[in-house]
Structure 1
């Protein structure tokens, strides 16, 4: 019966992150430094807004792009936070999480044979969509470049088939971001070669040391900006994402979005309205907590000999393993022998070999205990 299934779907693999998470989930007493799930509760005022929405019967279809009041709030929020300038009625679409926004963006612009440039290692959610569209991902190894995709690296990878550059910064899995100057150079290359840009900025509120800079402020005419509330407001399960693009491009994305999901959940949209207005600064205390956890995690990693590039965003380290062992085997042994879960770097494509992703979206007590266990495991492995 497999002959009845689309070949691109048959060849698709379940996310390596989820595969590994599911494999070790049964281990009793394990401390998980795996999934990118904030450990904070959704702020109470946002939950209350959702309850009110149900009581007030906001339970019907909304406009395909989302409530106009919500899109207006998003426009104001993005302008205040990042100086982005998107018109609510023609350049903003509310989606079912950033994942659906990414899917919509790629399916809108890609045709069979198109190539998409991505930094590597990279979040594994882009490649399956590119492949389903008949396109080809082109991975640029950034492991010798402090995990940064640069204009010069992009230039070397451009062919006559290149359609798009994906900029997932701050990055999952590395936590690394790009500066305004670096993005200016990338924007120049994109303009010279007439390429589109998808800027996945879901971690934009979680930056350390400097504010997030969006390429949408300097290359709006060719950029789709992806954002949402999952990480900034600890709303992963609410499934609210945002797709922003110039009107000529957003109008085409809206067609794909409309036939895919009609609209995002009306209840979640009302909660999102509260988040983007009264909750404009909700991420600040979470960010401060993550910063402390980052510094704590960094000190342990250095002490134990892991090779690290200091993150300036998100809540991950992609850390080089301090002993001679394959990433997958290291992660399995660490889970089974030490009771600590990390993600093997190969879950983020082959250039992740030799690394593991460590999430510090957990309590400081858990970080302390996890690294005690890791230290014990490493000492026993000598």
Structure 2
């Protein structure tokens, strides 16, 4: 029997996160106390009213049958109404909304829908590594959009070679950003629309963290920019909004032809998400939103305490605007080496910036998805581990620290 793997799979990288997860499991099994701040896996339960909605829907025999191939209209209506209420964006539920088996699936599918071998995709660097998978499966090429501190971790379209801009077919964006944790202003999205129109580029905006306003104001949706629906789409994830990570449900909204293509590919991959999960998602989107505000408050308290502890130790870091902290490595050096040594010597797991691209080097990403006491423990271990290293100067940080150790008051970043 021939079991040669198809060439399209040979180009896919192995997940560094999975490898590290295995190493963490080994340490825990050996009795080590590991503070795992490596992955973005929500640690709190789904709100009870959503769980109860699922229980009730599972008891309904109507949800035991196959649903409509492209998803249930009532869920699409709920998504459109939620977008209108939360982000002042009008959507046609029937033509401008697609249901996803988690936002991650759609972020891979869009490349397969629109990229042919040799096509160019503009890719933020650093970026969420799963964006790369769809591009590689399509046999397309990635051209980096460097996200640099001096540009507020926003891409500089003017720095692109015009021939690259003209040849690009698809572009990924992600704000609030993973891993740098900055937000983007409306003016940037307006520039993005002009760039996409001028060069005929499809914009894929990943808005997975857009419903959690840790900075005091709700992050701006790409679709708020005039003309945005004419050039692209936006992805949302109920995993982050409602702690529904294990439910694997998200959506993509915007440009009708893009939505149609994603619906087409999903007919062949999945058919549709289970009806009881779709109906429970309706309950999440249309029910009380207090749980979202409470979750944002939890993350804000965690963030403020974590950042205050680092500032008290002299480690001047930017104040995160999402559930990740992007930390410059004291003394510089390899982010992979720093993270590996930190796990080996201090039992703290973080993600090396190099995992997110060449321009992620010099940083590590820390997930704030852990209880406050564990984050305090991590700060102590980070500081002890980094003793003797050269701390980043205060002038390198763009934001003021929280006031006092363990501060609980909201922190407002001055960065974008």
Same fold, TM-score > 0.5, yes or no:
yes
Correspondent of 2:94 among 72, 89, 98: 89
Partner Cα separation in structure 2 for residue 321 and residue 381 of structure 1: 9
Alpha-carbon displacement from aligned partner over 1:120-179 (angstroms, at most 9, x marks no partner):
111100112101101111112223323222443457683442011211111111111100
Q: Give 2:381's aligned residue.
A: 373
Deviation at 1:308, TM superposition (A): 2.9
Map 1:1-382 → 2, pairs under 5 A: 4-27=4-27, 28-57=32-61, 58-144=63-149, 145-153=151-159, 158-207=164-213, 208-217=215-224, 218=226, 219-306=228-315, 308-312=317-321, 314-379=322-387
Partner Cα separation in structure 2 for residue 260 and residue 84 of structure 1: 29
Determine helix, strand or coil for the equivalent of 1:199. strand
Is the 1:140–1:149 contact (alpha carbons within 8 Å) kept by the matching residues of 2? Answer: yes
Partner Cα separation in structure 2 for residue 306 and residue 256 of structure 1: 47
Partner Cα separation in structure 2 for residue 155 and residue 86 of structure 1: 34
Is the 2:181–2:325 contact (alpha carbons within 8 Å) kept by the matching residues of 1? Answer: yes
Is the 1:305–1:322 contact (alpha carbons within 8 Å) kept by the matching residues of 2? Answer: no
Is the 2:180–2:326 contact (alpha carbons within 8 Å) kept by the matching residues of 1? Answer: yes
Partner Cα separation in structure 2 for residue 66 and residue 261 of structure 1: 11
Deviation at 1:24, TM superposition (A): 2.7
Alpha-carbon displacement from aligned partner over 1:39-96 (angstroms, at most 9, x marks no partner):
2110001001111111112122111221111111111001111122211112211110
The verdict on how the C-alpha distance between 1:48 and 1:3 changes in structure 2, with shifts beyond 3 A counting, is: closer
Q: Which runs of 5+ in 2 are unaligned?
A: 391-416
Q: CA RMSD in A?
A: 2.0
Q: How many residues align?
A: 381
Partner Cα separation in structure 1 for residue 259 and residue 92 of structure 2: 11
Partner Cα separation in structure 1 for residue 313 and residue 38 of structure 2: 19
Deviation at 1:206, TM superposition (A): 1.6
Deviation at 1:281, TM superposition (A): 4.0
Which deviates further from its counterpart, 204-213 or 36-45?
A: 204-213
Is the 1:15–1:125 contact (alpha carbons within 8 Å) kept by the matching residues of 2? Answer: no
Partner Cα separation in structure 1 for residue 350 and residue 67 of structure 2: 40
The verdict on how the C-alpha distance between 1:159 and 1:192 changes in structure 2, with shifts beyond 3 A counting, is: closer
The verdict on how the C-alpha distance between 1:196 and 1:324 changes in structure 2, with shifts beyond 3 A counting, is: closer
Determine helix, strand or coil for the equivalent of 1:230. helix
Is the 1:318–1:355 contact (alpha carbons within 8 Å) kept by the matching residues of 2? Answer: yes
TM-score by length of 1: 0.94
TM-score by length of 2: 0.87
Which deviates further from its counterpart, 155-164 or 56-65?
A: 155-164
Is the 1:96–1:265 contact (alpha carbons within 8 Å) kept by the matching residues of 2? Answer: no
Partner Cα separation in structure 2 for residue 133 and residue 283 of structure 1: 36
Partner Cα separation in structure 1 for residue 68 and residue 44 of structure 2: 31
Partner Cα separation in structure 1 for residue 316 and residue 53 of structure 2: 44
